[in-house]
Structure 1
Amino acid sequence: MELQVQFKALADKINQLKDKIETEESTKHAFVLPFINSLGYDTFNPTEVVPEFTADIGLKKGEKVDYAIFQEGEPILIIECKNWREDLSIHNSQLLRYFHVTKARFALLTNGIQYQFFTDLEEKNKMDEKPFLEFEITSLKENTIHEIAKFHKSNFDVNKIVNNASSLKYTKEIKKLINDELQNPSTEFIRLFAGKVYSGRLTEKVMDEFKELVLKGFNQFINERINDRLNAALNKEAEKQVGDQVEEIEESKINTTEEELEGFRIVVAILRRKLEVHRIVHRDTQSYFGILLDDNNRKPLCRLHFNGVKKYIGLFDDAKNETRHALESLEDIYQYEDELLETAWRYNSEE
């Protein structure tokens, strides 16, 4: 969630400033360095983010890549930057040369808006011609943010990223092919379907007719799938409303005490270091006082059991099993600060 907020702020900044940015150097400082910083790397630490990193190529000395990110004294990612107005496709060969002479397994080509991540899936120590991860920072999808998060300093694992890169790369290529075929189906694509449903000879006239039929069939299929999902969502919402009405009746029997609210405020004080305050929500029940992330029953942060003589706080493990801990006073909640923050971190990492 934190990354999503940071990228949204950067996207807003880009939209506000880009027309005033004229040079490559300005692009680096205004757009690229904030992106690097959002991944947890200290852009003011020259041993972690190295500007103008030397990448000598054979007899050609003094070649420098704009930035190299280091971990444990070794480069893990080299970054070549261009002016935000430039087309990145014409600069691949330059980054390829740098990649070959460094120990980094990943390379990033960016103009501050478009980002292309490369590795060496096809031939070891030789950068692939096509990126395995590509996006625009101004139009990010949630699943893309999940992939970018793997490059965060706290998550970075070379083997995990490389293993996943192959899937990302070829899935991206397949999705592009599907889109191209749905926009302008090739002869092979039309023949694939026509040959399975038409028993006659596939003449040019028949193929022309099937071009329209194939497009029509796919569009109808996609629309029907969308409608099915919308109807399922509407039915689910209707069921939820019925459930909410039942809960309202039950809640009329619930008495939320000032002691429970004070306990809630202590939990908020602890968790606000990891979560935005508005995301921490309480929901009282007849048997316990629940504290949830995003008002979602599937994301319990803890429970306060204050209805009996003895008071307890219920904490949750990875499998969401609850363990109760006795409290002598409300201040004892602070003793479970680490467990509460761990639960919050776990939900954030799943997003």
Structure 2
Amino acid sequence: MDFKDLVQQLGNRAVKLKDSVNTEEATKNAYIMPFIQALGYDVFNPAEVIPEFVADLGIKQGEKVDYAILRDGQPTILIECKWHGAALDVFNSQLFRYFHTTKAKFGLLTNGFEYRFYTDLMEANKMDEKPFFTFNITDLRENQIEEIKKFHKNYYDHDTIVSTATELKYLNELKNLIHTELNNPSENLVRHFAKQIYSGAITSRVLEQFTNLTKKSTSQYISDLITDRLKIALVKETELRHKEPEPVVKAEESRVVTTGEELEAFYIIKSILRNQIDAERIVYRDAQSYFAILLDDNNRKTICRLQLSGNKKSIHLMDTDKKGEKQEISNINGIYQFAARLIKTVENLEKSVVQGEVVN
């Protein structure tokens, strides 16, 4: 099993065991130790991993960090663990104290689901207040798996990690800032744009007007950008389909024709949801009367249904109840206005899986 499959397996395991892991000690055994093993370290070899590592704090003797990963006999990664239901924000100061008293190069604060990596980018031998790398093991992206792999015993190189840590730190902070500005543009950003195109004084009324315009224009720009890329992907997929042999279909399925518009709608929904779940889990099923978007190719996990033939087009949203809610759209770009509700539907389906409500 390669490293990618291994860490993804840990994410699936975390979800399955969540309801039965009720203490910090259980979190260590069920989540943290398997993660350390996935990094190539023998958790039962004290030359590699020391549990309850002593990190004396001045006059406070006997202070212990949950795990220390050793290289060449010295602690290189300190790991502080919390119960998976605990928020981590209030515990980074504890790890900060441990980091300061050892020769460790990295600190890891985790509850088994969320992992936060720290180092000393701002001041030597003093752990930064903010992590340079964070991830949720149940929602991993390809680039995150590559970053985790750098901490593996076989690939670990301190200088390599530090060289990318600064970029990771600021990249994440910029992404969060962009997300905030796109959803709620700050006054400075609105004024910056308004001054480029409006010659009059920026009064409070003008500022309010341009705040709304900024939100709309950024939303439309992103939608157009995604649509353009989807069209390119659609053309490529169509070309590939033409090269492949025609599949054998049942008689009742032969009357179903998947249109280019339906495929484009599918890719729009896939792009909306790809940051929530693995995009490969999103599939479509075409029927004579509707075009369904499903999670895990399971008709009991319907995300939405689309009716795009004829003059009247509509999307059937499934987030309110089992019957759902039908909304008319003028064209497939109208799907974007329901992005939040589609995301909510997937979140509810995922919760149902954890609670055992959805059966394949």
Pairwise TM-score range, normalised by the shorter structure: 0.5 to 0.7
Q: Paired residue for 1:56? A: 56
Q: Paired residue for 1:263? A: none
Deviations 1:71-112 (A, max 9, x none): 111211000001111110000100000001111110000011
Tell me, in whole angstroms, the C-alpha distance in 2 between the residues paired with 1:17 and 1:177.
34
**Which 10-residue stretch deviates more, 94-103 or 15-24?**
15-24
Tell me, in whole angstroms, the C-alpha distance in 2 between the residues paired with 1:102 and 1:163.
22
- The one-letter code matched in structure 2 to 1:227 is T
Tell me, in whole angstroms, the C-alpha distance in 2 between the residues paired with 1:242 and 1:139.
34
1:115 Cα offset (Å):
0.4
Q: Paired residue for 1:96? A: 96
Deviations 1:183-242 (A, max 9, x none): 111100111111111111100000000011101110011001101111111122233345
- The one-letter code matched in structure 2 to 1:111 is N
Tell me, in whole angstroms, the C-alpha distance in 1 between the residues paired with 2:60 and 2:209.
59
Paired residue secondary structure (1:122): coil
Tell me, in whole angstroms, the C-alpha distance in 2 between the residues paired with 1:216 and 1:236.
30
Tell me, in whole angstroms, the C-alpha distance in 1 between the residues paired with 2:234 and 2:154.
39
Tell me, in whole angstroms, the C-alpha distance in 2 between the residues paired with 1:243 and 1:21.
50
Q: Paired residue for 2:272? A: none
Higher helix proportion:
1
Paired residue secondary structure (1:219): helix
> Normalising to structure 1: TM-score of the pair?
0.68
Tell me, in whole angstroms, the C-alpha distance in 2 between the residues paired with 1:183 and 1:239.
37
Query: Are 2:213 and 1:213 aligned?
Result: yes
Paired residue secondary structure (2:172): helix
CA RMSD, 1 decimal: 1.2
Tell me, in whole angstroms, the C-alpha distance in 1 between the residues paired with 2:240 and 2:83.
50
Query: Are 2:266 and 1:231 aligned?
Result: no
> Normalising to structure 2: TM-score of the pair?
0.66
Q: Paired residue for 1:83? A: 83
Q: Paired residue for 2:346? A: none
Tell me, in whole angstroms, the C-alpha distance in 1 between the residues paired with 2:105 and 2:43.
20
Aligned residues: 245
Tell me, in whole angstroms, the C-alpha distance in 2 between the residues paired with 1:61 and 1:71.
24
Q: Which has the larger radius of gyration?
A: 1
Identical counterparts, % of pairs? 52
Q: Paired residue for 2:140? A: 140
Q: Could you list the runs of 5+ residues in structure 2 that have no partner in the other structure?
A: 246-360
- The one-letter code matched in structure 1 to 2:226 is I
- The one-letter code matched in structure 2 to 1:64 is K
Q: Paired residue for 1:301? A: none
Tell me, in whole angstroms, the C-alpha distance in 1 between the residues paired with 2:17 and 2:244.
46
Paired residue secondary structure (2:107): strand
Paired residue secondary structure (2:138): helix
Query: Are 2:8 and 1:8 aligned?
Result: yes
Q: Could you list the runs of 5+ residues in structure 1 that have no partner in the other structure?
A: 246-351
